[in-house]
Amino acid sequence: MGALFAAAGATLVEHIGVAGLDVLDVATGTGNTARAAARAGARRVVGVDATPALLAEATRRSVADGTEIEWQEGDMEDLALADASFDRVLSSFGAMFATDQHHMAAELERVCRPGGRVGLTAWAVVSARFPSPEAAVELFETRAAPIMAAQRRSRPSVAGTTPGPPWSGCSARR
């Protein structure tokens, strides 16, 4: 499983591009995605996670491989980070665990600079609708991305949001 997470984080970093940029890895765990970003030439990398033991392991691994990362204990739904402070806000198999998906999404957007990009990975049930990763990406780009863009234009206040559906519920509804 660890190798799969590492490969997914590296793929996310490769696809979104991080060279010379400030990168946040939310729910970093043992730092797979953060360390991939540092190796790919990010200018500054911050990894946030709620679990101190995982951050300790992340620290050990970054010391071992010589990557420079600022590790921070924190909650992805209440980040102790300034507005618009990152060019790339990433979360690999992490944001999907937020108890309030709307709140989490608002936080990721808050810390992302204008023109920056948020990149997530999440697992989904393989089905006729999601026969391959490529099909899932196509479905996201044609169906979900336009809806998310519309939601950004009429962003609700965080205080007024209600919990979003669980990720499994999203795919089950299709």
Ligand X SMILES: C[S@@+](CC[C@H](N)C(=O)[O-])C[C@H]1O[C@@H](n2cnc3c(N)ncnc32)[C@H](O)[C@@H]1O
112-171 residues near ligand X, rule: CB under 6 A? none
Quick one: which of 29, 71, 108, 112 contacts ligand X (CB under 6 A)?
29
Rule CB under 6 A: say whether 32 interacts with ligand X.
yes
In angstroms, what is the minimal distance from the CB of 96 to ligand X? 8
Tell me the C-alpha distance between 50 and 150, whole Å: 31
Quick one: which of 18, 54, 89, 108 contacts ligand X (CB under 6 A)?
54
62-121 residues near ligand X, rule: CB under 6 A? 75-77, 92-94, 97
Q: Identify the CA nearest to 133 among candidates 15, 6, 3.
A: 15
Alpha helices, H only, 81-144:
101-111, 133-139
Tell me the C-alpha distance between 66 and 163, whole Å: 39
In angstroms, what is the minimal distance from the CB of 114 to ligand X? 24
Among positive and negative, which fits the CA dihedral 12, 25, 164, 3?
positive
Enter the DSSP assignment of 75.
B
**Binding residues for ligand X (CB under 6 A):** 5, 9, 27-30, 32-33, 49-51, 54, 75-77, 92-94, 97
